[in-house]
A = this chain, B = another copy of it.
Amino acid sequence: MQPIPPHLTPSRYPKRASYDRDAIHTILDEALVCTVSFTMDNKPFAIPTGFVRHEDKIYIHGSVGSHFIREIEKGLPVCITVTLLDAIVVSKSAFNHSMNYRSVILFATPEKMEDPQQKTEAFRWLTEKFVPNSWDYLQPVKESEVRKTTILAFSLEEASAKIRTGMPGEDEYKDLPIWSGIIPLETRRGTPVTEALSEGIPLPPHLL
């Protein structure tokens, strides 16, 4: 294993850090949005955006006219974060409350995809992440749509995960008759809602 660069080592709870590829991939595949942070005129900017991981990179897309995309495609270094919340950790003392979470932080510079075929592939990865198995059912992406979209790839080489799981486990107040435990947070997909345009069209099998 390579030495961990200092900017990837958290100063707090370093034991919660993980550099394991599978752990990082699992978080990235479950999260739908990331926050892309960059520096302009020595000031921080950040934009939340949808993304997909494929092999050892993540991909974001945006209009060729997007100010944000045009800034970072120049090759600006970015810091990308992804956060999943799993539970509120309720301890006996207000001070020791916490959260169970799984987060990824990634430092990278963008690679702009140029090949239209590869860009179309990235559209497929994105679409299938948000609606699995839907690509073949949908109206295909057109060449003109590919042309007016910028797709940027970011290597996961400098990525790390930080994870907290489990119970509060505080010692100091363990004998107090105050309830402690976790409140799980659950994110789920609800029942699809048909828009007026599609009334009478049956839900495709991948959405049932």
Contacts and interface: CB of A to CB of B under 8 A. Distances in A.
A190 B196 CA distance: 33
A81 interface: yes
A88 B167 contact: no
Chain multiplicity (copies): 2
A195 interface: yes
Interface stretch (A16-24, A33-41, A52-60, A110-118): A33-41
Interface in A5-59: 7, 10-12, 32-33, 35, 37-39, 42-48, 50
A123 to B, nearest CB: 6
A176 B139 CA distance: 9
Contacts of A180: 194-195, 197-198, 201
A133 interface: no
A19 to B, nearest CB: 18
Contact of A66 (B12, B101, B127): B12
Given A138-B178, A181-B195, 15 more contacts: A33-B101, A35-B37, A35-B46, A39-B43, A39-B44, A45-B79, A46-B79, A48-B101, A94-B138, A95-B123, A95-B149, A174-B197, A183-B192, A184-B191, A185-B190
Interface of A: 7, 10-12, 32-33, 35, 37-39, 42-48, 50, 62-63, 65-68, 77-81, 83, 85, 88, 90, 92-95, 97, 99, 101, 103, 105, 107, 123-124, 127, 130-131, 134-135, 137-142, 145, 149, 167-169, 173-174, 176-198, 201-204, 207
